[in-house]
Chains A and B, each alone.
Chain A
Amino acid sequence: MDMKATKKKLGIKERYAHMTRGLGWEPTYQSADAVFPYDKYEGIKIHDWDKWVDPFRLTMDAYWKYQGEKDRKLYAVIEAFAQNNGHLNITDARYLSAIKLFWQGVSPLENYVVQGFARAGRHFRGEASRVACQMQAVDELRHYQTQAHSISNYNKYYNGFHSQRHMWDRVWYLSVPKSFGEDALTSGPFEFLIAISFSFEYVLTNLLFVPFMSGAAYNGDMSTVTFGFSAQSDESRHMTLGIEAIKFLLEQDPANVPIVQGWIDKWFWRGSKVLALVGMMMDYMLPKRVMSWKEAWEIYAEENGGALFRDLARYGIRPPKGWADACEAKDHLSHQVWLLFYEYGGAAAFHTWSLTDEELDWLSAKYPDSFDKYYRPRLEFLRDKHARGERVYQGTLPTLCTTCQIPLCFTEPGDPTKISHRETVHKDEKYVFCSDHCQEIFGNEPEKFVQSWLPVNQIYQGNCFNPDVDPTAPDFDPLKAVLEYFKYNLGRDNGDFEGSEDQRNFAMWRGQASKN
């Protein structure tokens, strides 16, 4: 018998092609359009799916091996964290607000895109692109679930974590990320890819993921930072998918360029609005600060993003329309959002507080052009009132931008003293926006955005009360009824950090753990 192995040795690329694109076939018993019904209506033209360059070459056996190893380590840390009361090692219980914001507003998005990537992973005609999307789908499942398991321990001891799922569908500020995610999921598969893989994962992820995870590292949150490190290699894969996706679309047909440019304009702007929450978190919620929002924006958006768009110029792509306005906002965004949440602190499921002089000084130094002039005086005024026992809580409801759904709190480009406000009349109805760009996004897809479920409007229409309440009762308190509909534990989830149950418990437990 001939025992010689004279077989051709396949290169990695060829071998991987057999493992992915070689598996698919052109259907003949059903038309390809019936099997793949969603990849034409957006107007994107693909002539040759084989030109898709695999962004990473990972077969399932290797995937299981790496991911299994990573999760064994990650869960050992989660376990140890829970067993040893790791939550008492964080810098200060105020830090918990950052994690609450992440769990309430970011984790559900991880879960959302599982289905989005599964849809793309089923419905693109090119097998190789599908496999890349599928891996991201199952990675995103990992991210949601590992976050649930890390945060499970915080939920046992602190408020604001318990009803994340219920709140996501109802709470006013969570409609910002929710509408963002649903906008992407309800789009066609190509727009979804540009929205999430390119605009979010590639251009903006360093402004979301890195600040939260670095914040965790700086503030002694072993559980979250371990998740962060563990997810890093997944995130790198997701970023390479984003850049491959956009190059592929742009190279396939010149007619794709204006469509893709429109999506970049839209999703960059929408993403930058969602990131306002991150800005607030970085500048205000971290007891031990990593860097300012402005610094993060300059490094990750202006430098990295600038280089990216210079690189994409050869395809005829220019920087997103909202670029200059978003860059100008770096001096203001975090302060305006914090002030909003401070004043609406009675209606948020995390705590806000008055800043110390040291913290105000830090912000003055980081924001020499804006903080002392526009924001420090207001924060000091609010702090003084609080000290006099007159903590400011807004009782009236704000006007929401129809597109990004953030209350109108941002100022005009070029004039930080004037609230920016735009209006469009569409089919005899008036719609309000926070900016030119949100107005334009609406104008491009009015049929979509007239559907926006705007929490404030819904509250006024009486749609945000539990079914058993009677709004005609003489003692009816509408604000309380709405907060109950949100499933807040009133006085425990919301309000100022000073005097909160989280503050008391953390101090007491830390005392128990560190003193005799």
Chain B
Amino acid sequence: MSVEIKAVEIKPLRNTFTNVAELIGGDKPASRYQEATLGVQATTNMHYRPTWEPEFELFDPRRSAIQMREWYDLKDPRQLYYASWTIQRAKEQETQEANFDFVESRYLHLSLPDDVKKLSLDVLLPLRHAAWGANMNNNELCSRAFSEVLISPAIMQAMDNLGIAQYLTRLGLLLDEPEVLDAAKAQWMSGEAWQPLRHMIEDSFVVRDFMEIFLVQNFVFDGLLYPLIYDRFVDDTLTSRGGSAVAMLTSFMPMWFGQSSKWVDGVLKVAVAESEQNKALISQWTTTWRDRAVTALTPIAAMAFGNSQETMMNEVIEQFNARAKKLGIAA
């Protein structure tokens, strides 16, 4: 039996805002995601040109070579808005925090075999700078993007990247003395294995096309790095050698990558399907940056996997190519 509480019912005059109604096929009840996001960015009658980039309007789709009849088609399948994002991350950080506590309280970080600990620090700690680079790129994406469906997830993604850089920092501080962070930074700056990666990331900092930034960082870099490092290196290699504590300390990352991939795939799929021209450009960007990223990750794979580096790299590339193909990208 159901219990029905009666409340005074008043018939509303309308269901949602007109900027939302225009994008969901009429005045219908709209979700929180839709009311937070759809049609929100200003589009016309802008007052002044940016002093920092007078060749464009303040809000200007021409900041990308990708063209969309309707930019609001590039929706986030996760339907994240600030509250759902921060509440979800709050839960996830609670799990991650519990993992840190668990490892620390049972001294698991001290019982790591020395070679495993060294390998973990060697591979993972310089990556806090790569995560910071991702943060820079997603801030750039947020500030340059056209349409709120990109702006809003971009800043959340940027903050996620910062969170990841900070989790890696905490991992270093837990496993060893603070000096390991300096050592890792020295590797990042001049260690031979890290230079192709740093070079590539610095080159991405001067990309100005916001859709290219989106693709380079969130699809290509993350799409190769996360499966290589967190699935294969941390979860397989380290775990099989007694390093499951490291997997606990980084459990946030592969989980997060799975979520963010949904956003990335959702956006790219629609952008590719929009036109042959978009498809060609996205395919070209993907090929160029993928090949670059493969070269950049190869020395790190050598460090992480030794003899099996080629197999690992090939698996990751195959996985990435299959994902691209599914999105309609010819790369």
Q: Which residues of A pack against B, CB within 8 Å?
A: 1-3, 5, 7-8, 10, 14-15, 18-19, 22-25, 27-30, 34-35, 37-38, 41, 59-61, 63-65, 67-69, 71-72, 74-75, 83-85, 108, 111-112, 114-116, 118-119, 121-122, 127, 130-131, 134-135, 137-138, 141-142, 144-146, 148-149, 152, 155-159, 161-166, 168-170, 175, 178-179, 182-183, 185-189, 448-449, 451-453, 458, 487, 505, 509, 512-513
Contacts and interface: CB of A to CB of B under 8 A. Distances in A.
Contacts of A512: 8, 10
Interface stretch (B13-21, B220-228, B266-274, B284-292): B13-21
A17 to B, nearest CB: 10
Given A60-B159, A67-B86, A134-B155, A8 B177 contact: yes
Contacts of B96: 61
Contacts of A166: 18-19
Contacts of B143: 115-116, 118-119, 122
A284 to B, nearest CB: 25
Given A5-B110, A452-B48, 7 more contacts: A3-B107, A15-B173, A19-B165, A23-B129, A64-B92, A163-B18, A509-B10
B93 interface: yes
Contacts of A186: 47-52, 58
Interface in B13-33: 13-19, 30, 32
Contacts of A453: 45-47
Contact of B169 (A22, A116, A161): A22
5 contacts: A3-B110, A29-B199, A38-B52, A185-B58, A458-B45
A140 to B, nearest CB: 9
Contacts of A156: 12-15
Interface of B: 7-8, 10, 12-19, 30, 32, 35-36, 39-52, 58, 81-83, 86-94, 96-97, 107, 110-111, 128-129, 131-132, 135-136, 139-140, 142-143, 148, 151-152, 154-156, 158-160, 162-163, 165-167, 169-170, 173, 177-178, 181, 185, 188-189, 198-199, 202-203, 205-206
B32 to A, nearest CB: 6
Contacts, number: 262
A138 B156 contact: yes
Contacts of B97: 61
Given A118-B158, A138-B82, A138-B155, A10 B178 contact: yes
Given A1-B110, A118-B142, A145-B83, A84 B7 contact: yes
Interface centre among B39, B90, B111 (most CB of A within 10 A): B90
A183 B169 CA distance: 39
A69 B49 CA distance: 40
B86 A137 contact: no
A60 B45 contact: no
B82 A64 contact: no
B17 A71 contact: no
Interface centre among B14, B17, B181 (most CB of A within 10 A): B17
